[in-house]
């Protein structure tokens, strides 16, 4: 703990109990007012429960992807203290590589199922490798630099990635076959007027499995524990024989893999373009902030919440201002809940 | 009464002013039929020089905010855009606000708007700065990022109005036919006239910033950068000074935005996006954050690289053309940040020491040893 933080903690007064109570009432009031506003705007458009269900379901799909991207942010931030703007680039690379490998002439005589599986696997591996390379080539040489310098470096890396993608793939939107039908047309499930595409279940399923694997990795494997040790205390981890720079490499590889998986499962539902990474990366980042930036499960909840809020918000207003909701949430969280929506007060020193 | 508080900076400012003057006169007189663009083989055109001047004004403010006060802003393009849109909107569609139509024709109206834009942007910066500047480090960077993107979306989406009912910003397409600046009936156009106006403003903002950082305020800002608690203990009103630095940078950005609007005669949301803000930070960081002179250096270098890639990229990378521009730009950016994290000004300052040849400073011991 720095001297600054200690002094500040010493100076900070405890907030009396009745004030905390008042705050709770204020929160409840704000939440109710927002809900009322949504319902009012929805009623202007004659929205019924089914319309809301559709909006929430679609938001849930986007939110799951945000959650996956947010996990990449949290992993890298925990281990290295860097906010990795290149994260969105990994998402784009994963999707684009999967499309390219799937369309590759050499695999043309394979049946569509194995071909898609091979493409997905190869794309995830390739992106992971790129993530490791990025860390070695750009972060490692500057590991002692200031945070701002490192942020700018990751921004530069993102610009390079997007630039390479522009050269290789051009400005066209590509498409990956849906995982269920292995064709461009996906199966849909209908419930009244509510429509769910089969790909949505793939997105939820794959994300769920990825999170389970990550959980096992962080809790029950040597490398996972070493990573966690690094995020708790770098110096102590080093004294225990863990090499923080190796862990930083591992964290970038993991983050790249998570981004790639997110991009690939999303690809059949949207159409991947060379510049899709920027907005997805920023949303994933907002989700990570909602979770307090250091807490993986909270980041997942943050991502899902963000997806639902922005989709419902855009649904009752206009599609053009969809992005504004995430940034309103970002600033609101930073100002009033910097420890994350679910964090306890102690971590407030980070601010 | 001296212009600046330090002799060395006065000399540097005079040098820069002379260079600006020389380049301007070169373009006006065109000796031997050559213009400024021909000096660099049509890479850096006269137009680029004007843009360097405009962006220098923004980056000087950013330099004070980030380098001296230590407060990161990833949303500076929002302030730049506010200036541009205040000028653009009120010179082309003042009637939307019930203002008399004759105003748009009056020569003093754009000049007044420039001041109004600065005041408005400064007020906006003050109001958002008070809460946001409580945040530090990454968190501040992200809050300013969010703010910048929100303002950009408001520009792009016409502040949420339908363009068919109230058209303020023109949405994606932006505003056109913004008038040139005039003094009475003397138009500050063609570009050679505008060039001198822009650089006059740029030099003035450099001078103001230099005086600011070498004053009591500047020392307070550096104290905040060092340790906020220590600064507070020295009776520095940290919250107030941080907000003042933000307001200063926002007002400069707004001024530059107005100059940009009258330069392009059109304003569209593109330059004020997140990427725009990033470019500004990159320019400031590449130039060097701990030195006001980093601003013109960084802007000039980044724009020169961009122009070079645009002009010569297709020759260097056969078959790829201008698409290679962002890749090369990104690589250069990463390399500079890895090898010169303190920016170009720091690199330049270290050069003489590398050669061990610098007279007049105690560090130079070459005469003694050799």
Answer positive or negative: Cα dihedral of B180, B186, B191, B194.
Answer: negative
Using CB atoms, which residue from A3, A160, A320 is nearest to B327? A160
Is residue B243 a contact partner of residue B133, using CB atoms and an 8 Å limit?
Answer: yes
Q: What is the DSSP pairing of strand B182-183 with strand A194-197?
A: unpaired
pTM: 0.87
Task: Name every residue whose Cβ is closer than 8 Å to that of residue A318 and which is 6 or more positions away in sequence.
Answer: B157, B160
Sort out which chain B residues have CB atoms less than 8 A from A323's CB and list them: 149, 153
Rg over CA atoms, chain A: 21
Tokens standing for A73?
Answer: 């942010």
Tokens of B310: 């645009």
The confidence band for A143, taking pLDDT boundaries of 50, 70 and 90, is confident
Q: Is B224 helix (H, G, I), strand (E, B) or coil?
A: helix
* CA atoms of B45 and B36, how far apart (whole Å): 6
> What average pLDDT does the segment A45-71 reach?
92
- Interchain contact B138–A (C-beta under 8 A): yes
Nearest CA in chain B to A319: B157
Picking from B143, B289, B294 by the largest number of A CB atoms within 10 A of its own CB, the best residue to mutate is: B143
Distance from CA of B239 to the nearest CA of A (A): 15
Q: Is the peptide bond before B190 cis (omega within 30 degrees of 0)?
A: yes
Given this model, what pLDDT does residue B282 score? 87
Q: Which two tokens stand for residue A27?
A: 């929160």
* φ and ψ of A37, to 5 deg: -60, -45
Q: Which two tokens stand for residue A143?
A: 């590991």
Residues in chain A closer than 8 A to B157 (CB atoms) = 318, 320-321, 324
* Integer angstrom CA distances of residue A302 from A23, A64, A167, B44: 21, 10, 35, 47
Does the beta carbon of B112 lie under 8 angstroms from any beta carbon of chain A? no
Strand partners, A30: none
- The question of ipTM being above 0.95 is answered as no
Q: CB within 8 A of A116, min separation 6: which ones? A: A102, A176, A177, A179, A182
Name which of B70, B71, B136, B146 to mutate to probe chain A: the one with the most chain A Cβ atoms within 10 A of its Cβ: B146
Q: A residues 258-287 near B, CB within 8 Å?
A: 278, 282, 285-286
- The sign of the torsion formed by the CA atoms of A23, A29, A30, A31 equals positive
- Cβ–Cβ < 8 Å for A238, A98: no
Helices A276-290/A147-169 angle, 10° precision: 150
B7-357 domain in CATH 1.10.3470?
yes
Return the closest-CA partner of residue B206 out of B21, B347, B10. B10
Helices of type H across B133-179: 137-156
The closest alpha carbon to B232, from A348, A4, A350, belongs to A4
For chain B, the first-to-last Cα distance in angstroms comes to 42
User: What integer pLDDT is reported at residue B112 of this predicted model?
Assistant: 95
Which 328-347 residues of chain B touch chain A by CB within 8 A?
A: 329-331, 333-334, 337-338, 341
Could you tell me whether strands A188-191 and A194-197 are parallel, antiparallel, or unpaired per DSSP bridges?
Answer: antiparallel
pLDDT tier, B332 (very low <50, low <70, confident <90, very high otherwise): confident
- What are the tens digits of pLDDT across the range A308-327? 999 999 998 888 888 889 99
Query: Measured between alpha carbons, how far is A38 from B345 in angstroms, rounded to an integer?
Result: 52
3-state secondary structure of A194: strand
Tokens of B285: 């960081």
Q: Measured at the alpha carbon of residue B132, what is the angle toward residues A69 and A296, in degrees to the nearest 5?
A: 25
* DSSP state for residue A135 in the 8-state scheme: I
Does the distance separating the beta carbons of B323 and A167 come in below 8 Å? yes
Whether A348 has its CB under 8 Å from any CB of chain B: the answer is no
Under the banding of pLDDT at 50, 70 and 90, the label for residue B194 is very high
pLDDT one-digit tens code per residue, B198-232: 999 999 999 999 999 999 999 999 999 888 889 98
pLDDT confidence bin for A349, thresholds 50/70/90: very low
The kind and range of the H/E element at A196 are: strand A194-197
Indicate yes or no: CB of A155 within 8 angstroms of CB of B282: yes
- CB contacts under 8 A, A 81-100 vs B, are 83
User: Residues of B numbered 303-322 whose beta carbons fall under 8 angstroms of chain A's beta carbons: which are they?
Assistant: 320
Integer Cα distance of B309 and B322 in angstroms: 7
Pair B215, B25: CB distance under 8 Å? no
pLDDT at A286 over 90: yes
Quick: pLDDT tens for B35-85: 888 888 888 899 999 999 999 999 999 999 998 998 989 999 999 999 999
Q: Which of A9, A159, A168, A306 to mutate to test the interface with B (most CBs of B within 10 A)?
A: A159
- Within 8-37 of A, beta carbons closer than 8 Å to B belong to 8
Is B15 or A14 the better-scoring residue by pLDDT? B15
For residues A147-167, average pLDDT: 89
Answer CATH for A33-350 from 3.40.1350, 3.30.60, 1.10.3470, 1.10.1740: 1.10.3470
Spatial contact of B290 and B207, defined as CB atoms under 8 Å apart: no
H or E element that contains A189: strand A188-191
């Amino acid at each position: 703990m720095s001297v600054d933080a200690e002094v500040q903690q010493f100076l900070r007064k405890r907030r009396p109990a009745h004030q905390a109570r008042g705050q709770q009432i204020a929160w409840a009031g704000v939440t109710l007012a927002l809900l009322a506003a949504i319902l009012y705007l929805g009623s202007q458009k004659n929205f019924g429960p089914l319309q809301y269900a559709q909006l929430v379901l679609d938001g849930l799909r986007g939110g799951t992807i945000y959650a996956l991207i947010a996990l990449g942010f949290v992993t890298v931030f925990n281990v290295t203290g860097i906010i990795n703007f290149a994260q969105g680039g990994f998402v784009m690379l994963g999707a684009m590589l999967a499309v390219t490998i799937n369309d590759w002439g050499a695999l043309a005589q394979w049946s569509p199922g194995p071909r898609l599986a091979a493409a997905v696997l190869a794309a995830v591996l390739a992106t992971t490798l790129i993530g490791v390379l990025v860390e070695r080539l750009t972060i490692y040489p500057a590991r002692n630099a200031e945070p701002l310098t490192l942020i700018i470096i990751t921004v530069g890396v993102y610009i390079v990635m997007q630039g390479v993608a522009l050269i290789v793939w051009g400005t066209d939107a590509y498409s990956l076959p849906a995982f269920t039908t292995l064709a461009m047309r996906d199966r849909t499930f209908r419930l009244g007027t509510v429509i769910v595409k089969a790909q949505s279940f793939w997105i939820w399923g794959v994300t769920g499995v990825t999170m389970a694997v990550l959980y096992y990795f962080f809790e029950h494997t040597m490398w996972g524990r070493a990573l966690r040790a690094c995020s708790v205390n770098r110096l102590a981890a080093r004294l225990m024989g863990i090499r923080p720079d190796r862990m930083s490499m591992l964290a970038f590889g993991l983050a790249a893999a998570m981004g790639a998986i997110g991009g690939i499962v999303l690809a059949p539902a949207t159409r991947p373009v060379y510049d899709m990474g920027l907005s997805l990366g920023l949303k994933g980042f907002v989700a990570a902030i909602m979770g307090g930036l250091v807490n993986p499960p909270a980041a997942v909840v943050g991502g899902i919440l963000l997806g639902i809020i922005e989709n419902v918000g855009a649904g009752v207003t206009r599609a053009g201002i969809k992005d504004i909701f995430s940034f309103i949430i970002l600033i609101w969280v930073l100002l009033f809940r910097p420890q994350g929506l679910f964090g306890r007060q102690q971590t407030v020193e980070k601010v | 009464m001296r212009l600046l508080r330090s002799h060395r900076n006065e000399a540097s400012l005079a040098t820069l002013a002379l260079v600006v003057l020389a380049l301007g006169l070169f373009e006006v007189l065109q000796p031997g039929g050559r213009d400024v663009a021909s000096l660099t083989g049509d890479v850096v055109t006269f137009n680029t020089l004007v843009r360097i001047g405009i962006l220098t004004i923004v980056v000087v403010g950013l330099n004070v905010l980030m380098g001296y006060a230590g407060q990161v802003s990833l949303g500076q393009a929002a302030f730049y855009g506010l200036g541009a849109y205040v000028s653009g909107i009120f010179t082309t569609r003042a009637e939307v606000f019930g203002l008399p139509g004759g105003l748009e024709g009056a020569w003093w109206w754009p000049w007044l708007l420039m001041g109004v834009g600065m005041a408005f942007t400064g007020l906006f910066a003050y109001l958002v700065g008070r809460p946001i500047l409580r945040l530090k480090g990454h968190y501040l960077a992200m809050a300013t990022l969010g703010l910048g993107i929100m303002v950009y979306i408001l520009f792009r989406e016409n502040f949420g109005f339908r363009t068919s009912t109230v058209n303020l910003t023109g949405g994606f397409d932006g505003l056109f036919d913004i008038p040139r600046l005039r003094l009475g009936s003397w138009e500050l156009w063609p570009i050679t006239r505008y060039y001198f106006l822009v650089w006059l403003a740029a030099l003035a903002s450099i001078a103001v910033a230099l005086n600011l950082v070498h004053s009591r305020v500047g020392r307070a800002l550096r104290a905040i950068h060092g340790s906020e608690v220590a600064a507070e203990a020295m009776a520095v009103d940290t919250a107030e000074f941080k907000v003042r630095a933000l307001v200063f940078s926002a007002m400069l950005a707004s001024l530059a935005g107005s100059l940009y609007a009258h330069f392009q005669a059109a304003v569209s949301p593109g330059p004020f996006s997140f990427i725009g803000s990033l470019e500004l930070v990159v320019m400031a960081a590449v130039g060097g954050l701990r030195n006001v002179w980093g601003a013109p250096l960084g802007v000039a270098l980044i724009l020169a690289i961009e122009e070079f890639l645009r002009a010569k990229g297709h020759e260097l990378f056969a078959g790829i053309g201008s698409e290679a521009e962002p890749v090369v730009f990104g690589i250069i950016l990463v390399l500079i940040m890895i090898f010169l994290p303190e920016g170009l000004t720091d690199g330049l300052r270290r050069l003489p020491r590398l050669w061990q040849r610098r007279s007049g400073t105690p560090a130079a011991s070459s005469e003694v040893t050799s």
